[in-house]
């Protein structure tokens, strides 16, 4: 019986591999888009394709209009901050403001060049970037999200299907302007990961796509780093997204609250009250062979070579200095940092004065939490540290206009004042005319690249003196924490007893021989 | 002249040696959990500590039953009589081969100092270790049982370790004192075979 199931297993594996290689998803759909007359035309542009799509999928574009993917905006229900890609600043490429034409290569739409973009346009929704199954659809790097001219739009449109790791990854793997740059837990190694890299997305195993966890309702995808679910709750969610408010993009949705079933591991269920699943089960970041950026110093940008082109230094295939960007460092297969996190993220917004924290950094975002608020758990984060331009007189972070080929573009003319002036004008924000640089840091939650159980963080990596949680305060961790006084007196008393009995013993031996002598 | 007396019965010897092994294993794994050294790894140390603790609980169930049914529990009733003589013996007499002030019999196998030491063991060390140990074992149930309002892990761990240090000190003294019999190995032999050689000249106490 065991042998048979093994054979079935291997046949299944081969079958899955085969379908992966031949790559047709048509078996799961009742519609063959190649047969639709509407798609058998020569499309000249992205919006033309969308016009065809929404003839049948009548609600799709309007659904997209309501999502963060479209608006790049999010109102945090916890602290009422208006965030989202459109509003916040980061310490990578800083902000899409004044750089939309370039940055909207990752917008789910066509034509967002500047502040005049029409957010009500249905035909400007980009269906293909998410529903392409061919891999042939590519957006142009500098054309406001329009596809490259070389793309055969009819071919792509006739082969649409469900989203995949590839379609989501085309933007999310490359956040921050390159493969693996931003997140630390997402890069193109997750396109076809093995079991060791991600136990769920294992391409010849469970083969989860992004949407297996990030389920969508009406095109609204669950799970957001702006308001993640961080705390431990008692609810047991079945893995189905029944309402808009429900977020199923977390471990508990499938595993429940007591996932450690084996008797000898059941104690770990209790750990989950204070520790996020990710803390143990994602032992290291950037494990797939792609380095993630760890620091970025914009203040050193601007060095040009003799021909007037920005200098570039590559080490091990990573750009470590770029005249346009400054100094950059990388990390691969590294331990995350750990913090108390309750799910509320506060951003340093452009209209707020910067606050230098005790650690010497302005926190571009702050993961709030404490051991005592009853809501926080210990989370792994990638902390990205940088030096970025700010206005020392207004005491605010600034919007630099980096992209494009106009007079003010920093990447063309390397003049910070001009670039920031243009950026702030575009954002409608005041600027003193002075640019200086300030140290900033930003945290990113680590959620992906979940290792198989055998590779989870071992007990003594935290239950030890200089372990992973050495900086986590507010809890007693056996093996890490011990009363110094108790240890001192405890060992002292044991030692004195030992010395005492040894001396007593010597006394007896001595008196024994003394008596024999006399 | 000496005579042989059966001091430790079979169950008692079994209980003693099993308990000795378990206690040493508990000390060894316990101090690793405490972070004093790293030998087998935290997870393995915890597993071992738990298993051994439960084994000791089981052993105690039998031992308590045995003590109650045989009346041997009376051996631990403390007495202050001759304590001064015992102290004097260990401080002086033992070096000049003075006669042992206590005569072991079946009915009284512990000398007065031993009785006090064991009493301290039963009344202070064991309760501290066991109370905190149980609390530690069931840490994940505190909330369910409503204990989280009264207990703090740090304090429980603190007193558990206090108990462990007392136990360790007890063990060191105990290991030495077994060499203070008629010969260096006499007590050890008695604990293994059950038979102790008694000097009939020593006073009955």
Q: How far is residue A275's CA from residue A281's CA, in Å, rounded to a whole number?
A: 11
CB contact under 8 A, A490 and B47: no
Provide the 3-class DSSP secondary structure of residue A333.
coil
Residue A506: closest CA among chain B residues belongs to which residue?
B95
**Cβ pair A338, A468 in contact under 8 A:** yes
pLDDT at res. A131: 97
Main-chain phi, psi angles of B195, to 5 degrees: -95, 130
Please list every residue in chain B whose beta carbon sits closer than 8 Å to the beta carbon of residue A490.
161-162, 164-165, 168
Q: Is residue B201 predicted with pLDDT exceeding 80? A: no
CA dihedral A208, A212, A214, A217 (to 10 degrees): 150
Distance in angstroms (rounded) separating the CA atoms of residues A276 and A274: 7
Both tokens of residue A441?
């840091």
DSSP letter at A237 equals: -
At residue B134 the predicted structure's pLDDT band, cuts being 50, 70 and 90, is: very high
In DSSP terms, which residues pair with B198 in a beta bridge?
B3
CB contact under 8 A, A476 and B153: yes
Angle at A76 between CA A449 and CA A357, to 5 degrees: 75
**B158 at A interface, C-beta within 8 A:** yes
Residue A476 and residue B59: Cα distance in Å, rounded?
A: 31
Q: Coil, helix or strand for A145?
A: coil
- Among chain B residues, the shortest Cα distance to A490 is held by B165
Closest C-alpha among A82, A168, A23 to residue A346: A82
| Rounded Cα distance, A277 and A283, in Å | 11
* Closest-CA residue of chain A to B161: A486
Q: Measured between CB atoms, does A507 come within 8 Å of chain B?
A: yes
Window A:368-427, CB contacts with B under 8 Å: none
Distance CA A407, CA A418 (A): 8
Task: Please report which helix (H) or strand (E) contains residue A509, including its range.
Answer: helix A484-517
Instruction: Check CB contact of A264 with chain B, cutoff 8 Å.
Output: yes
Interface contact flag, B34 A498, Cβ < 8 Å: no
Q: Could you tell me if B41 lies within 8 Å of chain A, comparing CB atoms?
A: yes
Residues A426, A399 contacting (CB under 8 angstroms): yes
Q: Does B24 touch chain A (CB under 8 A)?
A: no
Burial group, residue A278, by CB count within 10 angstroms (0-12, 13-18, 19+): buried
Rounded-to-integer distance, Cα A291 and Cα A334, Å: 10
pLDDT tens for B4-50 read 888 888 999 999 999 999 999 999 999 999 999 999 999 999 999 99
Residues 6+ apart with CB under 8 A from A123: A47, A48, A50, A51, A54, A61, A110
Q: Where are the domains of chain B?
A: 3-197
**Chain A contact for B173, CB < 8 A?**
yes
Partner-chain residue, chosen from A478, A491, A511, that has the shortest CB–CB distance to B95: A511
List the beta bridge partners of residue A125.
A109
SS3 A366: strand
Check if B113 contacts A (Cβ < 8 Å). no
* Ramachandran quadrant class, A176 (left: phi over 0; alpha: psi -120 to 50; beta: rest): left
Provide the residue range defining the domain that includes A134: 31-72+107-161
B46 Cα to chain A: minimum distance (Å): 10
CB contact under 8 A, B97 and A515: yes
Structure tokens given for A98: 């004044």
Share of chain B above pLDDT 70, in %: 93
What's the complex ipTM? Answer: 0.88
Closest-CA residue to A455 (of A283, A253, A214): A283
B34/A478 touch (CB, cutoff 8 Å), yes or no: yes
Residues of B in contact with A458 (CB under 8 A): 41-43
Residues of B within 8 A of A265 (CB-CB) are none
Asked whether A199 and A49 are in contact (CB, 8 A), the reply is no
Flag if B41 and A480 touch (Cβ within 8 Å).
no
Cβ of residue A474 closer than 8 Å to a chain B Cβ? no
**How far B103 CA lies from chain A's nearest CA (Å)?**
21
Strand-pairing partners, residue B77, are none
Is residue A52 included in any domain, yes or no?
yes
Triad A103, A104, A108: Cα angle to 5°: 145
Residue A149 lies in a domain: yes
What is the distance between the terminal CA atoms of chain A, rounded to a whole angstrom? 85
How far, in Å, CA of A39 to CA of A48, rounded? Answer: 10
With beta carbons under 8 A apart, name residues in chain B contacting A508: 94-95, 180
Q: What would you measure as the largest C-alpha separation in chain A, in angstroms?
A: 122
* Per-residue model confidence as pLDDT tens for chain A (518 residues): 445 555 554 544 444 444 444 444 445 689 999 999 999 999 999 999 999 999 999 999 999 999 999 999 999 988 999 999 999 999 999 999 999 999 999 999 999 999 999 999 999 999 999 999 999 999 998 999 999 999 999 999 999 999 999 999 999 999 998 999 999 999 999 999 999 999 999 999 999 999 999 989 999 998 888 888 777 666 555 555 556 566 778 888 888 888 898 877 878 988 988 999 999 999 999 999 999 999 999 999 999 999 999 999 999 999 999 999 999 999 999 999 999 999 999 999 999 999 999 999 999 999 999 999 989 999 999 999 999 999 999 999 999 999 999 999 999 999 999 999 999 999 999 999 999 999 999 999 999 999 999 999 999 999 999 999 999 999 999 999 999 999 999 999 999 999 999 999 999 888 888 888 76
DSSP A15: H
Compute the C-alpha angle A409/A415/A418, nearest 5°.
70
Of the candidates A479, A486, A498, the beta carbon closest to that of B42 is on A479
Distance CA A364, CA A210 (A): 27
Which residues of chain A neighbour B154 with C-beta distances below 8 Å? 476, 481
- Check CB contact under 8 Å for B35 and A482: yes
Query: Which CATH number is B3-197 given?
Result: 1.20.950.20
By the CB < 8 Å criterion, does A511 face chain B? Answer: yes
Find residue A339's DSSP bridge partners. A379
Q: Six-digit token pair at A90?
A: 């980061």
Q: Does A12 touch chain B (CB under 8 A)?
A: no
| Confidence (pLDDT) at A29 | 81
Task: Give the residue on B whose Cα is nearest the Cα of A458.
Answer: B43
Provide the number of structural domains found in chain A: 1
A residues 431-470 closer than 8 Å to B (CB): 458-460, 463-465
Please give the Cα distance from B163 to A494 (Å, whole number): 12
Q: What is the pLDDT of residue A22?
A: 44
- A270 CB neighbours in chain B (<8 A) are 139-140
Reported as half-sphere exposure (CB side, CA atoms, 13 A), residue A487 has a value of 12
Query: Residue B29 carries which DSSP code?
Result: H
Site from B30, B42, B98 to mutate, A interface, most A CB atoms within 10 angstroms: B42
Say if the Cβ atoms of A478 and B33 lie within 8 Å: yes
| Contact across the interface for B162 and A486, Cβ inside 8 Å | yes
Of B33, B153, B169, the CB nearest to A494: B169
Q: Cα angle vertex B112, ends B110, B117, to 5°?
A: 80
Helices vs. strands in chain B: H and E counts, helices first = 8, 2
Q: Determine the longest span between alpha carbons in chain B, in angstroms.
A: 65
B157: contact with A, CB 8 A cutoff:
yes
Q: Using CA coordinates, name the residue in chain A closest to B29.
A: A479
Cβ of residue B3 closer than 8 Å to a chain A Cβ: no
Taking the Cβ of residue A476 and every Cβ of chain B, the question of whether any pair is shorter than 8 Å is answered with: yes
How far is CA A302 from each of CA A98, A295, A305, A416, B145, rounded to the nearest angstrom?
Answer: 20, 17, 10, 9, 64
């Amino acid at each position: 019986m065991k042998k048979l199931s093994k054979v079935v297993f291997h046949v299944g594996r081969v079958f899955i591999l085969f379908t992966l290689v031949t790559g047709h998803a048509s078996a799961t759909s009742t519609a063959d888009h190649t047969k639709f007359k509407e798609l058998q035309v020569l499309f000249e542009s992205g919006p033309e394709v969308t016009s065809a799509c929404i003839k049948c999928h009548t609600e799709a574009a309007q659904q997209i209009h309501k999502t963060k993917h479209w608006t790049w905006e999010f109102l945090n229900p916890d602290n009422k901050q208006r965030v989202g890609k459109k509003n916040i600043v980061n310490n990578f490429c800083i902000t899409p403001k004044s750089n939309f034409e370039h940055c909207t290569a990752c917008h789910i739409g066509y034509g967002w060049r500047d502040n005049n973009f029409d957010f009500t346009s249905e035909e400007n929704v980009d269906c293909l970037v998410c529903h392409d199954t061919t891999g042939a659809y590519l957006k142009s790097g500098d054309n406001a999200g329009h596809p490259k001219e070389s793309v055969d739009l009819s071919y792509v449109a006739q082969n649409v299907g469900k989203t995949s790791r590839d379609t989501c990854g085309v933007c999310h793997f490359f956040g921050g302007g390159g493969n693996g740059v931003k997140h630390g837990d997402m890069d193109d190694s997750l396109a076809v990961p093995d079991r060791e890299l991600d136990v769920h997305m294992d391409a010849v195993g469970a083969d989860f796509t992004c949407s297996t966890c990030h389920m969508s309702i009406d095109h609204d995808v669950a799970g957001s780093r702006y308001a993640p679910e961080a705390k431990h709750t008692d609810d047991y969610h079945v893995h189905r997204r029944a309402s808009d408010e429900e977020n199923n993009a977390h471990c508990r949705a499938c595993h429940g609250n007591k996932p450690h079933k084996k008797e000898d591991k059941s104690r770990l269920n209790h750990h989950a009250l204070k520790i996020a699943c990710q803390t143990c089960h994602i032992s290291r970041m950037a494990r797939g062979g792609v380095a993630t950026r760890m620091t970025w110093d914009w203040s050193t940008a601007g060095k040009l070579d003799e021909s007037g082109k920005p200098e570039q230094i590559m080490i091990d295939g990573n750009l470590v200095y770029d005249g346009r960007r400054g100094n950059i460092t990388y990390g691969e297969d590294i331990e995350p940092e750990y913090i108390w996190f309750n799910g509320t993220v506060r951003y340093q917004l452009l209209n707020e004065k910067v606050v230098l924290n005790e650690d010497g950094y302005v926190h571009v975002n702050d993961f709030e939490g404490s051991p005592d608020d009853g809501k926080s758990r210990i989370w792994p984060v990638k902390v990205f540290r940088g030096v970025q331009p700010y206005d020392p007189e207004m005491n605010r972070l600034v919007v630099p206009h980096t992209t494009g080929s106009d007079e003010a573009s920093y990447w063309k003319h390397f003049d910070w004042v001009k670039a920031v002036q243009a950026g702030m004008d575009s954002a409608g924000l005041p600027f003193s005319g002075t640019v200086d640089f300030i140290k900033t840091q930003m945290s990113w939650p680590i959620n992906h690249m979940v290792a198989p159980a055998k590779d989870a963080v071992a007990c003594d990596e935290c239950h030890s003196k200089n372990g992973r949680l050495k900086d986590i305060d507010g809890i007693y961790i056996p093996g890490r924490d011990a009363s110094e006084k108790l240890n001192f007196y405890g060992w002292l008393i044991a030692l004195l007893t030992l010395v005492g009995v040894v001396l007593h013993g010597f006394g007896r031996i001595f008196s024994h021989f003394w008596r024999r002598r006399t | 002249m000496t005579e042989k007396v059966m001091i430790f019965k079979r169950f008692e010897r079994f209980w003693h040696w099993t308990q000795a092994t378990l206690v040493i294993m508990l000390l060894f794994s316990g101090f690793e959990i405490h972070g004093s050294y790293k030998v087998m790894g935290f997870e393995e140390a915890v597993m071992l500590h738990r298993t051994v603790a439960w084994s000791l609980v089981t052993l105690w169930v039998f031992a308590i039953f045995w003590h109650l049914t045989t009346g041997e529990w009376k051996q631990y009733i403390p007495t202050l009589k001759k304590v001064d003589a015992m102290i004097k013996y260990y401080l002086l007499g033992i070096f000049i081969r003075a006669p042992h002030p206590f005569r072991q019999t079946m009915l009284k196998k512990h000398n007065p100092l031993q009785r006090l030491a064991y009493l301290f063991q039963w009344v202070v060390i064991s309760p501290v270790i066991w109370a905190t140990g149980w609390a530690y074992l069931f840490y994940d149930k505190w909330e369910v049982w409503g204990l989280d309002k009264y207990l703090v892990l740090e304090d429980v761990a603190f007193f558990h370790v206090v108990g462990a240090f007392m136990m360790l000190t007890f063990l060191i003294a105990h290991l030495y004192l077994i060499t203070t019999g008629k010969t260096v190995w006499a007590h050890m032999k008695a604990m293994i075979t059950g038979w102790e050689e008694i000097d009939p000249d020593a006073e009955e106490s």
